[in-house]
Amino acid sequence: MAGLPQHIAIIMDGNGRWAELRGIPRTEGHRRGSERAKQIIEAARELGIKNLTLYAFSVENWQRPLDEVFTLMELLKNYLNAERDNMKRQGIRFMTIGNRDMLPGDILTLIKETEDATKDGKAMNLILCLSYGGRDEIIRAVRKLLKEKIDPESLNEDNFKNYLDTDGIPDPDLLIRTSGERRLSNFLIYQSAYAELYFTETLWPDFTKEEFLEAIQDYQKRQRRFGRVLESLRCIKS
């Protein structure tokens, strides 16, 4: 598939509303959403997407009802236990970004085990955002800079990226958000400066492989200028 984005980031939104529309608990919506995530991960690997980032649990999500937070953590544990060997076989490298200090100890142990088991994967990087917030990430990056007493005059966009959670990961080319909302919600706010945005009314549990392909095809039709005019881009390419 020509012109594939190197990095796709997804805000998986709408699990709760999906459940409420059907008169079932919000926790069931998260379970269905987890199943959908597995299908989209597989689709991305089959297509040859090199980096897939999923917004799984935000810093703000800790404020949700305890039963909902518990369900989300259990779904994560179940996924890591069930899929670790499969990811290793398929060459998927599992990674997480976010404020790990806020995660429970048993979750951290599973994350580290999965990261270690899949560290040699070359087919695709699967990046889960857990206890993540874009502003929180930037604040933590600045704290690292201050601790290292970096010369302010030496700081630029390239070396600042080294202090972000996404160090070593390319910026997203395509950012998808489901459920009809049209905002970033504190997701990769530094890295998404030039990402192509795709919004859909579809709630996450209903977001199929076919619509995933539609989003990629929509991306392939766009001209990415990064603030330049087309003529200057032609000169750079030539």
β-bridge partners, 125: 51, 93
175 found inside a domain: yes
Over residues 41-60, the mean pLDDT reads: 97
158 found inside a domain: yes
Residue 184 tokens, joined = 């970033």
56 found inside a domain: yes
User: Domain count of the chain?
Assistant: 1
Q: Can you give the residue range of the structural domain that contains 115?
A: 7-237
92 found inside a domain: yes
pLDDT of 90-137, one tens digit each?
999 999 999 999 999 999 999 999 999 999 999 999 999 999 999 999
182 found inside a domain: yes
Q: Which residues are catalytic?
A: 13, 61
76, pLDDT greater than 80: yes
Q: What is the pTM of this model?
A: 0.92
2 found inside a domain: no
Question: Under a CB-based contact definition with an 8 Å cutoff, are residues 18 and 29 in contact?
Answer: yes
If one counts every other C-beta atom within 10 angstroms of the C-beta of residue 107, the result is 19
For residues 56 and 65, what is the distance between their CA atoms, to the nearest angstrom?
A: 16
Over residues 23-33, the mean pLDDT reads: 96
1 found inside a domain: no
151 found inside a domain: yes
CATH code, 221: 3.40.1180.10
